[in-house]
Structures are given as C-alpha cells and as structure tokens.
Chains A and B, each alone.
Chain A
Amino acid sequence: MKKVKTIKIDVDLCNGCRACEVACSAFHAEPKYSSTNPEKSNIRVLFDVKRNLYIPVMAGEYTDAECMGRDQYIIDGTEYDECTFCRASCPARDVFKDPDSGLPLKCDMCEEEPPLEEPLCVKWCITDALTYVEREEEEEEEEKLDDVEIGLEALANKHGMKKITDTLARLSMSKKGEYV
C-alpha cells in the first residue's frame, strides 16, 4: 500500500477570497515567501458572480494541444464551460502559465524540501473549502511504462512495429552523434 496525498475541494464552501492563491505564490517564490503574485500560483479560483461560480482548481499536467469538441456542462441549472474543471496548463487559455516566462505551472503538493505537513493552500483556506486527505492506495502490480515507451507504443499501434524500427534505424544512421 502507498499513501496518496489529495486535496478535497468543496465548492459550496468557497468564498472566493483567493487566499489559497496568495499562499501558494508566496511558498513558491524565490526566495521562499519573498513575494506574492496570484498569477504565479499553482491554484486558481475561477469565479463569476453572475453564475455563482466559485471553483478552485489546482494546476495539473501541461498539454501542448487543446481538447477537441469542448462543450458545456449544466449542473443545477448553471452552465459551465467544459474547461472550468480542467487542471491542464493548455494553449486554449491563459491560466497556469508563469506570467514572466510563459512556462507551465503545476501543483507540487508543496512537496519541495522541506515538505510541509499540509499543503499551504489548505492551511490558508480556513473556511475549509480545501481539505487535505491522505488516501491509502494499492500499489499497481503492472510495471509502469515510462513516457518514451508510451509514446512508442502509440506510434507502433498507428504505423506498425516494422515501420517504427526501420525509421529508428534510418534516423540513427543519418543523425549519428546528434542524439547522444
């Protein structure tokens, strides 16, 4: 069994104060706590008074392509853009990008050294819209594929294994020395 750290988000309790953004940006400032800047925070509160929409979202993985066929959810009569709940730093929108470098932001659960007992955004959300939950999870038996393997497998499925090996051989001949 392994421990998984998660943050439970209760949107009904969120008051839109953005303290979570302030705290996260301070924690990840260089040097630590030296500045605040919600735009650099790994958590964003997406809100829109007219729709009573107050949704804290933590930055997840970077993606270089936006999703296709995005549309709307309707929950209890309120319309939500499909991106509302998405954690990706994605070309379709400007959240979760460092305003200076443009690099994608990603929540690290405040794990950098020394790790905090509880994520800082949770600590600063004293209205308890964010709560910290540790879950036990079964270790996955199956050996995990690394990123390159995943990519290659996808290519092989698409083009056939033979084409992939041929191409690799050709590439390694013509670009000898470049890919070390």
Chain B
Amino acid sequence: MRYAEQGFNLEIDLSRGNIEKVATDPRDTEAYLGGLGTNAKILWDRVPPEIEPFSPDNLLIFSAGLLVGTAAPSANRTIVSTISPQTNLMAFSMAGGFFAAELKHSGYDKVILRGKSPDWVYLWIHNGKVELRDASHLQGKGCYETAELIKQELKDPKAQVASIGLAGENRVYFASIEVEKSSCSRLGVGAIMGDKRIKAVAVRGTKDVNVAKPAEYFELCTTMLESMRHRLDNPLPGFDAMLATLGPQALSHSDDGFHIDNFAWGNARERKKGHWTKEYGEKWESDQLQSMERHISCYNCPVKCGGIIKHPTLGRFPMKCYSKLTYPMAAYADLDFGFRMIGIAQEHGVDGYTAPQVMAFAVELYEDGILTDEDMPGFPSDNEERHFWLMEKIVRREGIGEVLADGVYWAARRIGKGAEVYDHNTIKKNEQMFIKLGTLNPMYYLLYATGEKLTITQIEGGVPQAPLAPEDRKAYVKDWVQIPTGKEERFKQFVLEWGDEGKKAPFWPDTDLLNELVEWQEAMHYIDDATGVCAGVSSFMPKPPYHIHNYPLMLSAATGIDFDEDKLWKLAARNRNLVRAINIRRGLKKEDEHPPDDHWKKRFPEFEAELLDNYYKFKRWNDQGVPTREYLHELDLDYVGEDLEQRGFLKSVEEAEA
C-alpha cells in the first residue's frame, strides 16, 4: 500500500480524448516528495526545451502536495506546473482551498494534461469515473460562474472545480486558474489551460488517504495544531498585524497604514509617506467592515486568512488575502474600489499581482502621451472607470487589450516609442511586488535575483523582513527553534545585532551568513511546495509551526519512508536544482538575475556582482549560475548533469572562450 499518496496519476491526452490511470514510482516520492518536486521531474523528463509554452506538447500538471488529504493541518496546496507563456520558464503557481484534498480522495496525486482539445471541454473526475465533457456552453463564463454551472450540471454540490475565465480562454499571459477561495495566479497557468481548451477540472472523491504510522502521525498533527493555536493566540511582538500571527492576515484587520505609506502606488511608481491619515484609515476600515462577512479558511486550516466579501453591487464572493492592496494602490483608489475590482477580476481569472500593474502601466503611458486616444478609442476620463475599462479589454484581448494581455514586459516592447522605460518592475519578464526602497538590502538582492519562483513572498520568510526594534530581538530569538542544526547561534546573533550601528545594509552581514540565510528561506519554500503545506503556516512566516525539525518526523510517519533533517535538506536542494536546470535549459541567463534598477534608490553594481558570484559559488553553481556536474552527482541528478553537459551549458565563461 502507498502511504500519504495514492500512487496514481491521471494522464489525459486532450488531442485524442484519451484517459489513462498510471501507477507512479515510489522511489520518486523518496527523492522528490511530491507536488512541485515530482512535477519538476515530469517536466524535465517530458518537456524538452524546444517545446514552446503553447505547443500541444507542453504539459499542464495539477498536483496535490504529498501531505494533502492526510490529517496534517493546512496541507491543502494544489501545485500547478507548466511552462509559462510569459517567461518561457517553468511556471510556479500554488492554490489553497479544497481542490487538492478532493483530488487526493478521488484516488490520484496528479492530473497531467497534454495535447489540445479540438473543442472546449471540461474534465470530470469522480473516483474511478473520469470523463471529458462538452464545455461549449461554458465558454465566456466567469470562473466562479463556471464552477456553479458545473456543480449543478453534475448534481454534485460537493465537487471541487478549478476553472478559467475569459482571461484564460483568451490566453492572457497572466490568466489564473481559480478554485474555491484561492487561485493559481502566477505566470499565466490559466493561459496554458485555455490554450488546451479545457475550461475546468471538476473533482469529487470519497476514498481514504492512508498513513504509515497512524497513532504517531496523528499525535504529530495534533501537536502541530496546538502550536498553531499558540501562534494565533500570541502575536509576535514587533510585527505588524499582517505577520504577527499566521497566514498573512490582511483580511482580519484594517490597519494597513504600513503598506499604504511604504508600498509604491500607480505603476510601482511612488511612495506616499503620510498618505495614511486618520481620516483615510477610518474610510478604509469602514469599507472593510461593510464588505467582510466571514473569515474563511482553506481545507483543514484554522488560520482563516480569507474572507467572504458581500458587496452591494456584486453579491458574495470569497477572496484570499493577497489582492486587497494591489488593485487600490495601482489605481490610486480606495478599498471599496479594490473589492469591486477583485470581484470582477476573480470571475475573469487574472493574477492579482500582475493585472493591477499592467493597467497602471497603461494609464501612465496614456498620461505621458505614448498611448493615445487613437490606440484606446473610448478610454474613459474617470480614473476608476479607466481601470474597469482596461480590465475588460485585456481579458478579451480587444483593442489595446491585445497588447497589454502579454504583460508589461512584452507590451512595452510591442508598443515601443519609449514604452520600454516604463517597464521598470519586472524580473525575468515577470511583474514584481510593488515595492521601491532606499538602500540595497543584500539579502533581498539575492532572493530577488536568484529566485526561480519570481514571487518574493514565495521565496522569503523565516527571517524577519527588516531589523527588529532592539527591545523585541531577545524575545524573538528566545525560542527560535526553527533554525537548522548547527546554525542556531549565528542566526540568532544576526537578529540580535541587525540594525545596530555598523550592522546595517548593504555591507552587513558577511557573505557566508548572508548566503546561508538566503538558502534557508528558499529551501523551506521548496519543502512546502512538495508537501503542499501552506507557506502561511510555514516558510513565509516568522517562527512558523512547520520547520526543518518537525517536518522529517511528520514525513516519516506519514509515508513510512525514513527522513531526517539532512535527507530533507538534500531533497530540497535536489528539487531546487532540478527546477534551476529546467530553466537553464530553457535559456535562463546570469544577466536575467537582476532586480529592477530602481528597486532600491542606492545601488552598488560592483558589490552586487560580487554578491551574486559568491552566492553562485556557495550554491555550487558555476560562474554562469549553472549547477556543477559534481554537485548534481551528489544530489543524485546525474541524468540532469549529463543533459546539461551535452547541451553545452556546463562550460564556464573561460572554458567557453578557450
């Protein structure tokens, strides 16, 4: 019997309508866990770099994380992987909600879609019964609307549905896949789904998920839940309400002063210090109270960081925390505008990270005369209306929307006339968080530059985002049990000193410590993405309930495979390097590893180059950022090393020149 996982994937060939149930290799579980790890292995094996994102041979993989469907609290992630149309690199996108647990209970760990359907279809998985059904009547429908219609049609209100809206149908490069309460938003996974003409995947499952050591595992899960309760009841001193407990709590409080005053408005353009006045805060709070009806959670999670919004004009819809600030700030508008926009954006299925920035970028180009009334006939004069207008154009790829639907990077180049300069907030062609800061922060420099996931909140965490106030530092390090073995003293010392005279960015801390802090943050995310545990109770949070010491116990008890800290650490490195290899093979270059020029006002180009080179060395990558042959061998990734060598990627610059 297989434990924690079901041991079967569904392989769907959309071109031919062929459906197969395929047993998976348990050795892959031991090597990559599941979720993102095994997704990466499949993409490496089956999608060579010649395959374009919109090729029928690109795969779209829906995976449940390894612990999803067991009793592990907050293990509920659906990990969708494919090749991104926007970056042409591996796409990372994870959703909470209920979809993955339902998939697991239907008897499968993954659904792997390939080919392209001749007509619009949706996939219906009900335990052993799996079928492609006509979706022509669903074309043009919103994401949640589609989910409702499918549940009615199947007469199964408990089915979980992952669907695309207009944006996905029209292959918008930042189209999302929406599930109840959450979404896979980043990097255009919805566009790939639309390209394959699959409107939705609906799933209902009533099978057991088994674990290897029942009593031991349940005890560990109970302890995990207790530590969550402890964290929820005891906010960390020195952290704002969003981060002080668990799961970014954007919807449970309305004290957003920090973000309003410090994040950048418009096209990631300007900080407006002092914008958060008493009056502004009161309006913000009343908008929130008027619309928030209930705090809701994902599957088996007590954190309830999501909300049901009831808006006078849009009715009810669930939302996750993220887009609360993105739409209002990009549009110089208020929270009520934000809720109205989110209600529409979720039905269309667009990324709440990228879409607001693309619209703000268009408004800026218009105001500066680069886009004109000729390019945008009928463009309203009212600020809010402009954004609603742009949204409708983009999701239909209509008029200027045709260009904007490719995201800021590509749109800027298609528009020309100097528009490229307005693309000032992308890395590797992907829009970043709307933050512009003062002095280079070396830790964040490395996280941004080398992160494969392109979303800082999916790379950072575990280490405080900024120096703590002196009075809060001792308390923070006191029971900081999450640190990897052997690094305790140095990491604690870092938090105790960070911010003191002479211990500030950019030339502090020393490179070794810096590299280790960066690697740790990233490693924990790679583990979560394989297990399916939410980063909001783990890698993204300060002092989280899940960490490198209790994870091996849980994984061993769940799977029956022995894990310890070293083995898990190595596994995280294996997954991380496998993903890097996929991207290297697809053309990722050292010069792409560059945070936007204006991310910090004060930059230090030579020092940054040094930081990057040092980090590459520390990671045992060559001077071009390619994992070395020996290191890949140690990670049991010889098949990757061989391929990279054959394709000529393993030569360093000197070798290449010789």
CB of A165 closer than 8 Å to a CB of B: no
Would you give the shortest CB distance from B211 to chain A, in whole angstroms?
A: 7
- Complex alpha-carbon distance, A39 and B208, angstroms: 9
B297 and A17 contacting across the interface, CB-CB below 8 Å: yes
A22 and B71 contacting across the interface, CB-CB below 8 Å: yes
- Which residues of chain A are within 8 angstroms of B98 by Cβ–Cβ distance? 18
CB of B288 closer than 8 Å to a CB of A: no
Would you give the shortest CB distance from A81 to chain B, in whole angstroms?
A: 11
A49 and B308 contacting across the interface, CB-CB below 8 Å: yes
Closest A residue to B212 using CB positions: A34
Chain B 279-328 interface residues, beta-carbon cutoff 8 Å to A: 293-302, 304, 308, 310, 315-318
- Which residues of chain A are within 8 angstroms of B294 by Cβ–Cβ distance? 12, 15, 52, 54
In this complex, the member of A18, A19, A36 whose beta carbon has the largest number of chain B beta carbons within 10 angstroms is A36
- Complex alpha-carbon distance, A35 and B207, angstroms: 10
- Which residues of chain B are within 8 angstroms of A29 by Cβ–Cβ distance? 208, 214
Give the number of A-B contacts (CB < 8 Å): 96
**Chain B interface helix/strand/loop/mixed:** mixed
B206 and A15 contacting across the interface, CB-CB below 8 Å: no
State whether A15 and B316 are in contact (beta carbons under 8 Å apart), knowing that A33-B218, A36-B71, A37-B209 are contacts in the complex: no
Chain B 196-250 interface residues, beta-carbon cutoff 8 Å to A: 205-211, 214-215, 217-218, 222, 225, 228-229, 232
B interface residue count range (under 10 / 10 to 19 / 20 to 34 / 35 or more): 35 or more
A34 and B105 contacting across the interface, CB-CB below 8 Å: no
- Which residues of chain A are within 8 angstroms of B217 by Cβ–Cβ distance? 33
- Which residues of chain B are within 8 angstroms of A12 by Cβ–Cβ distance? 294
- Complex alpha-carbon distance, A48 and B300, angstroms: 17
A19 and B210 contacting across the interface, CB-CB below 8 Å: no
Closest A residue to B294 using CB positions: A52
A18 and B207 contacting across the interface, CB-CB below 8 Å: no
Would you give the shortest CB distance from A36 to chain B, in whole angstroms?
A: 5
B308 and A52 contacting across the interface, CB-CB below 8 Å: yes
- Complex alpha-carbon distance, A17 and B181, angstroms: 11
- Complex alpha-carbon distance, A17 and B222, angstroms: 16
Which of A15, A33, A40 meets B296, CB within 8 Å? A15
CB of A32 closer than 8 Å to a CB of B: yes
CB of B347 closer than 8 Å to a CB of A: no
CB of A50 closer than 8 Å to a CB of B: yes
Which of B105, B148, B297 meets A38, CB within 8 Å? B105
- Which residues of chain B are within 8 angstroms of A123 by Cβ–Cβ distance? 222
Query: Which residue numbers of A lie inside 8 Å of B, CB to CB?
Result: 12, 15-19, 22-23, 26, 29, 31-40, 48-52, 54, 99, 123-127
User: What would be 5 A-B contacts, judged by CB atoms less than 8 Å apart?
Assistant: A15-B304, A34-B211, A35-B214, A37-B206, A39-B105
Query: Which residue numbers of B lie inside 8 Å of A, CB to CB?
Result: 69-71, 73, 98, 101, 105, 148, 157, 180-181, 205-211, 214-215, 217-218, 222, 225, 228-229, 232, 293-302, 304, 308, 310, 315-318
Supplied contacts A37-B209, A39-B206, A124-B225, 9 more A-B pairs, CB within 8 Å: A15-B296, A22-B71, A32-B214, A36-B69, A36-B208, A38-B105, A49-B180, A50-B148, A99-B206
